[in-house]
Amino acid sequence: MISVAALRMQQFGVQFYQASLTAKDIDKLVRFEVLNYGDQGSGHGARGVRGSARESKVRWDLLERRIASNEKAYQRQIIRRKIDELVAYYEQCRQAHDLPSIPGAVIISCDEPLKFEPIAPDSTLGTLKVPEREGILRAIDGQHRLLALHAGMSQFENETFTVPAVIFDRLPEDHVVQMFVTINAKHTRLNASHLVSLSGRQLYRDENLAAAHDVVRALSEREDSPLHGEIKLLGVGRGRVAQAPLAQELKKLFATEAFGPGRRGEEFREEAKRFFINYFRQVAMVFGAAWNGRKYSIKTAPALRAFIRVAPDIVRHLDQQHADRADFRAIGRVIAPWGRRIGDLRFETDGAWKRSGATVEQLSKELRLALQYPEGAMV
């Protein structure tokens, strides 16, 4: 028997335990299995692109031997990419010592009877005794996390590593499957773009973030926008650029002096939408070959964030010329030097983009210098 500290819990007549298992306990007691119908699939229970063996830290030949595959199992096939990412994350946590890698409980069912010894009569705290037999525990939720732990066990040999676990005592097979389906069918992860859409209005009041959300929606949905359909709103759609990084960049921008922290309300948001629609229309004209070409990275999050980041410089030039901030032709005159000083080749994916750096800060610096020295005079 393995003895672990545990908390006995009960919900609607069902008794289960919240316990702490060591990494070695997990590695020995948990069996991994996936649903497979024999002639369908290769039998090793893993799917996805395996990738180069040099790129992966996972010994797939060894890991796949731990994964049973049969028609009575209920787990989905293992996703290699997910395991690779988890192993890398565990190693990052181990090196940094600032975050736990498995802070949430995995859900497990035990095939044989468990014994609970309370520290006092009627106490919910006590010691849970688990039969020490290999594969006696089955993962209902958390199989990928535990497989990644198994794959990276050599990294944690000298570390104190415990995993929070919810353990059920001999759940009926139909209840195990029902719980698995309920957890996975109803679990929905809120992506960052969805949170951006909720923030600023539904979750809390933030005028800058609300304005940023409106601008991103306008850029994605308006037919006169050169980014029409290119942005993934709510994290879905055919667009290639996520909503969240653009919205966060705009939020910071709307707090700057150029846009004026006191400029709020519908009028402010409407002016911002007009400005950015016309601004990116002119960007698309100045860098026409890159904007419409397939081998360029101008319509990526780093490039678009850089264009947003230098917007205060554009606004200052427009204000100095006493021009309407959203005037299409006036914006074009201001950014015209970019065509001469930077050019389309700067955004060629396998060319200058890769050689010169693709960071937001680097590209922002180049754009600002081109505005400051339109003819190329450097000091």
Q: Output the pLDDT for position 83.
A: 81
Q: Output the pLDDT for position 66.
A: 66
Q: Output the pLDDT for position 103.
A: 87
Q: Output the pLDDT for position 379.
A: 39
Q: Output the pLDDT for position 171.
A: 79
Over its length of 379 residues, how does the chain's per-residue pLDDT go in tens digits?
A: 889 889 999 988 888 999 998 888 888 888 777 666 454 444 455 554 444 444 666 666 666 676 776 666 656 677 788 888 888 888 888 777 778 888 889 888 898 899 999 999 989 999 999 998 888 888 888 888 888 888 877 776 677 888 999 999 987 776 777 777 666 655 445 566 666 666 665 555 677 888 888 899 899 989 999 999 888 876 555 677 888 889 889 988 888 766 755 555 566 778 889 999 999 999 999 999 999 999 999 999 999 999 999 999 999 999 999 999 899 999 999 999 999 999 999 999 999 898 876 789 999 999 999 998 887 654 3
User: In a 3-state reduction of DSSP, which class is residue 162?
Assistant: strand
Instruction: Report whether 161 contacts 38 (CB < 8 A).
Output: no
Beta bridge pairs of residue 3: 129
One-letter amino acid identity for 56?
A: S
CB atoms within 10 A of CB 182: 11
CB under 8 A, 24+ apart: contacts of 288-293: 288/344, 289/344, 290/344, 290/346, 290/347, 290/348, 291/226, 293/344
Q: Is the pTM of this model over 0.85?
A: no
Residues 10 and 88: their CA atoms lie apart, in Å, by 36
User: In a 3-state reduction of DSSP, which class is residue 326?
Assistant: coil
Residues 291 and 297: their CA atoms lie apart, in Å, by 8
